[in-house]
Amino acid sequence: MVETKNLIFEQKLLEFKGTYGLASRYEEEFKIRWYHDFLRPLVTPFLYGGDFMRKELAEKLLPGLKHDVKYYENLYPKRNLADGAIVTRYAPSPTGFVHIGNLFQLYISGKLARQTKGVNFLRIEDTDQERLVENGIDRIINDVKAFNITFDEGPINQTEQKGEYGPYIQSQRKEIYQTYAKDLLLKDLAYPDFTTKEEVEAMRKEQVASKRRIGYYGKWARSRFLSEAEIEQNLKENKPYIIRLRNMGDYNRKITFVDAIKGRIEFPEDDIDQVIIKNDGLPTYHFAHVIDDHLMQTTHVIRGDEWLSSVPIHLNLFKTLGFTPPTYAHIPPLSKKEGNTVRKLSKRKDPELAVSYYDEKGIPAQTLMLYLATVANSNFEEWYQEHPDEDIENFNLTFEKIGTSAALFDMEKLLNISKNILSKMTALEIYQNTLNWAQKYDEAFAKVLEANQDIAVKTLNIERESAKPRKDFSMYSEVKENIYYMFDELFTNESYEWQKITDLTEIKEILNVYLDNYYDPSDDEEVWFNKIKEMCDKLGYAANMKEYKKNPENFKGNVADVSTVIRVALTTKARTPNLYDIMQILGTEKIKDRFSKIK
């Protein structure tokens, strides 16, 4: 008789194992789950009118909720968008500053949303209340505004929000998460956990010692097996608790999903009884993500690939809650080559990860966005070469062309892009932007620029409006070293970059002869140069380069050496934009003054 009973039990157990895919679990665990996951679900609903847990008990665990899940399911209108429209979001925690990894993600999500006439909204994930910084929301919004990034919906400042799917700040959605958690409690898909930190720690040690997987799952998920009487008792004793998911997954089963960037991916199913509501009543990231992206009707979750390993948790939550999951697209981290290795950019080691770095250097926002576009899609550069004057908005960004592993960040390339961008600006734009930069970072230079706008703009305009404009600088902080010599206030540099002719007596001789006999500010460029050549003949330098090359020994040097003397005397530099233009802008007084400084 006893034997038959045992046989029936074993038989049931096998069926149960099959149903739940628990083949590799321990017997002891099966016995517990046999009751909790198989028998109890069959019996309990009859006791509580369809619910698994008494309503009063669920109410005690998550008190004061005004609505049920149906209310929220009906609250938000269906998004009325065209087929293929991507609804995506930027979901930062307001715990610090925006970095270029965020901008990279924002470029991708914003662009794809615009391209498909979809929506890119901002959601503030502030459920970790301990890590918040003051005015965190304003900071995020301002940081990205500098890059021309705005959102279709979400907070617009610290206090206001726009959009029909809000609130867009998670701490303001506490009731919503709790309502869904309560629903899970009633469906026996969640339970309160009263385990103390010490108990969790002891469990962890035991798992390590017995070489088990770490975590709150299976038989280790001890609060899963509490009876209602025990729960009532714990509540009576005011024991703090969290709410966990009653996970029906099996680690030995595999789930697969298709990531829009990384392709098909396989993971073990999640079987951890994940925390969904923390002790402070707020949800965990995982739970909030799933509820929000369901209610806000996100079609694509585009985020950093540090979240890739959480996908099983999220897919399991979507399934348990009966929601359709979005498409995931995990972006590779911005990385850097170091010798033969590639490593992620790090806040600690790489100042260029901070957005503030670009502001301080005066690297324009459009440089960064253009560069990030280059990194995002492997075919962007080719497109840009073919369409150098087109708005980069016209490029068609695709998930398929986003790299799957590391997105290489190359500062040299970025600076080259910046040079190009600056070379295409008008002199007045450069002047204005440099002034704005200097007002923040170099007040003395700002004053000089303000007092000498005419000279500054004219100088910046030398060899600018042409098919091949000069590319002297890649950032506004480099403008000063390129034009300082035009301003008396800044002309204090005595380190002249003399080239071939270095003898000061000879230099002074050239300058004096030139000033006394050949310099005339009303000469046009051709006449001006011819006069320098004339002077060369007179002083024993070759006016004609061909002749010089034939018989260099016949000359003291050539016309290039002589004009370099004039150039260096005026600017201290051996390389400058067109000397004739510089002299025109400087004018006679300043030229005389500069020459007289050579002693």
Residue ranges in contact with ligand GLU by CB under 6 A: 91-93, 125, 289, 301, 303, 307
Beta bridge partners of 99: 354
CB 306 to ligand GLU: min, Å: 7
Of 192, 187, 244, the C-alpha closest to 215 is 244
Estimate the crossing angle of helix 427-441 against helix 453-461, to 10 degrees: 120
> Of 199 and 280, which has the nearer Cβ to ligand GLU?
280
| Measured distance CA(563)–CA(532) in Å, rounded | 7
Residue found by looking up tokens 């309502």 in the block: 179
User: 245 in helix, strand or coil?
Assistant: strand
> Of 289 and 464, which has the nearer Cβ to ligand GLU?
289
CB 92 to ligand GLU: min, Å: 5
| Measured distance CA(95)–CA(253) in Å, rounded | 37
> Of 125 and 472, which has the nearer Cβ to ligand GLU?
125
| Measured distance CA(181)–CA(189) in Å, rounded | 9
| Measured distance CA(103)–CA(363) in Å, rounded | 15
> Of 91 and 532, which has the nearer Cβ to ligand GLU?
91
Distance of CA 82 to the CA centre of its chain: 28
Instruction: Quote the tokens at residue 510.
Output: 């050239």
> Of 302 and 475, which has the nearer Cβ to ligand GLU?
302
> Of 91 and 189, which has the nearer Cβ to ligand GLU?
91
CB 401 to ligand GLU: min, Å: 21
- Spatial neighbors of 394 by CB under 8 A, at least 6 apart, are 387
Of 599, 595, 597, 598, the C-alpha closest to 519 is 595
CB 404 to ligand GLU: min, Å: 18
| Measured distance CA(370)–CA(399) in Å, rounded | 17
| Measured distance CA(214)–CA(233) in Å, rounded | 28
Residue found by looking up tokens 């615009």 in the block: 114
> Of 53 and 91, which has the nearer Cβ to ligand GLU?
91
CB 304 to ligand GLU: min, Å: 6
CB 291 to ligand GLU: min, Å: 12
Task: Give me the residue whose beta carbon is nearest to ligand GLU.
Answer: 303
Instruction: Quote the tokens at residue 215.
Output: 């975590």
Strands 154-155 and 161-162, by their bridges, are: antiparallel
> Of 296 and 562, which has the nearer Cβ to ligand GLU?
296
CB 301 to ligand GLU: min, Å: 6
> Of 25 and 89, which has the nearer Cβ to ligand GLU?
89
Asked if residues 133 and 94 have their Cβ atoms less than 8 Å apart, the reply is: yes
Asked if residues 336 and 345 have their Cβ atoms less than 8 Å apart, the reply is: yes
| Measured distance CA(476)–CA(29) in Å, rounded | 67
> Of 125 and 271, which has the nearer Cβ to ligand GLU?
125
> Of 296 and 570, which has the nearer Cβ to ligand GLU?
296
CB 303 to ligand GLU: min, Å: 3
> Of 165 and 473, which has the nearer Cβ to ligand GLU?
165
In b/e form, how buried is each residue of 69-91, taking b as 16+ CB within 10 angstroms?
beebeeeeeeeeeeeebbbbbbb
Beta bridge partners of 331: 304
CB 242 to ligand GLU: min, Å: 20
CB 171 to ligand GLU: min, Å: 13
CB 125 to ligand GLU: min, Å: 4
CB 285 to ligand GLU: min, Å: 6
> Of 335 and 558, which has the nearer Cβ to ligand GLU?
335
167 upstream amide cis, omega within 30 of 0: yes
- Spatial neighbors of 530 by CB under 8 A, at least 6 apart, are none
**DSSP-derived secondary structure for 543-556:** SSHHHHHH-GGGSS
In b/e form, how buried is each residue of 507-523, taking b as 16+ CB within 10 angstroms?
bbebbeebeeebbeeeb
| Measured distance CA(490)–CA(480) in Å, rounded | 9
CB 281 to ligand GLU: min, Å: 19
